[in-house]
Chains A and B, each alone.
Chain A
Amino acid sequence: MADEVLFEFLHMEIVSHVYKEQQANKGEMDSKERGQCISVLESMGFRVGQGIIERLTRDSPSFKDELDIMKFICKDFWTKVFRRQVDNLRTNHQGTYVLQDNKFSLLTQLSNGKQYLDQAPKYLAFSCGIVRGALSNLGLESVVTAEVSIMPSCKFQVVIQKL
């Protein structure tokens, strides 16, 4: 079944739609409007992440600690959502984690190198939301950002918010 493709097409069309809507009134978007687009995409991802993690962890026992949760995100969760595991997980053991995916599935169709690098953030916002939503339903509030220096390799930074 090729439904991963369907999701990728849907995701690209959603990104395109969100940006078109914002641009409807003026020619060039300012950074505030760009920020709004990213927010909209991120919050859509958040809902999806919450839903997915609920289904995924229905029958799992509870996690031992924060690191256990992050390992689950890197392995099982990433496999289910992005069809591969995170290649590298680093942490400062103080609530900050960097997840590196060298062949991020939503970027592989865009380019292999530096082309379209400036467009990458648009296509990562939704995924950041997915991760944040998943963590949220596991009891961890976080801020998730992503950066790309060479496509399709991507680093997600997760900062757990201490209450």
Chain B
Amino acid sequence: MSRQSNRATDSKKMNSELFTLTYGALVTQLCKDYENDEEVNKQLDKMGYNIGVRLIEDFLARSSIGRCQDFRETADVIAKVAFKMYLGITPSVTNWSPAGDEFSLILESNPLVDFVELPDNHSTLIYSNLLCGILRGALEMVQMAVDVRFAQDTLRGDNVTEIRMRFIKRIEENIPAGDE
């Protein structure tokens, strides 16, 4: 392998390796703690949700993006700004439903799965399920209820990784009692 990469690229790669390796250690630990893949998937989603509800604040502070006008704009912001900012990749937004309430994010590469192989006895594990939880939690904090799931996964033999996002409804802000 050539040694042409300069220090800047090296340090960026290294930081994402820290995240990737830590994530791997987490999934391994969860597989040890829980008996079946379904339970691990649920835990990853829950943990992702907890991260997402905090990450959105960090995202809004860093990106100073205003309120999105519609779901299409939301999709673009997620793919072109958020993913780029935190994972260094820009998925493409495709497969819009006719009603405009559902779309796919296609990830050519997924940094979470660098160095990862799924063993045969974990064929139903959704390794990157943390991402679904993060997206769900983050969007809930900006008043959007969404359903997020993996439609394709390179770890399970597909060519690309595809995340399907569906808009469920707008969450009404709860006005505390006593306010007009």
Q: Interface residues, chain A, CB within 8 Å of chain B?
A: 1-7, 9-11, 13-14, 16-17, 21, 40, 44-45, 47-48, 51-52, 55-56, 59, 79-81, 83, 126
Chain B window 122-155, contacts with chain A (Cβ cutoff 8 Å), 1 for yes, 0 for no: 0000000010000000000000000000000000
CB neighbours of B25 from chain A (8 A): 44-45, 47-48
23 residue pairs A–B, Cβ–Cβ below 8 Å? A2-B58, A2-B86, A3-B87, A3-B88, A7-B15, A7-B18, A9-B51, A9-B55, A10-B22, A10-B23, A10-B26, A13-B47, A14-B22, A17-B43, A44-B26, A47-B25, A47-B28, A48-B22, A52-B21, A56-B14, A59-B3, A79-B11, A83-B15
Contact B18 A13 (CB under 8 A): no
Contact B15 A4 (CB under 8 A): yes
State how many angstroms separate the Cβ of B41 from the closest Cβ of chain A: 15
CB neighbours of A6 from chain B (8 A): 19, 55, 86-87
CB neighbours of B3 from chain A (8 A): 59
Name the residue of chain B whose CB is nearest to the CB of A50. B21
Contact of B88 among A1, A44, A56 (CB under 8 A): A1
Q: Interface residues, chain B, CB within 8 Å of chain A?
A: 3, 11-12, 14-19, 21-26, 28-29, 33, 43, 47, 50-51, 54-55, 58, 62, 84-88, 115, 130
Known interface pairs A51-B21, A126-B22; 13 further A-B residue pairs with C-beta atoms within 8 A, sorted by A's residue number? A1-B86, A2-B58, A6-B87, A7-B19, A9-B55, A10-B19, A10-B22, A13-B47, A13-B51, A17-B47, A48-B18, A55-B17, A80-B11
Complex CA–CA separation, A5 to B63 (angstroms): 14
Contact A13 B86 (CB under 8 A): no
Contact B87 A21 (CB under 8 A): no
Name the residue of chain B whose CB is nearest to the CB of A21. B33
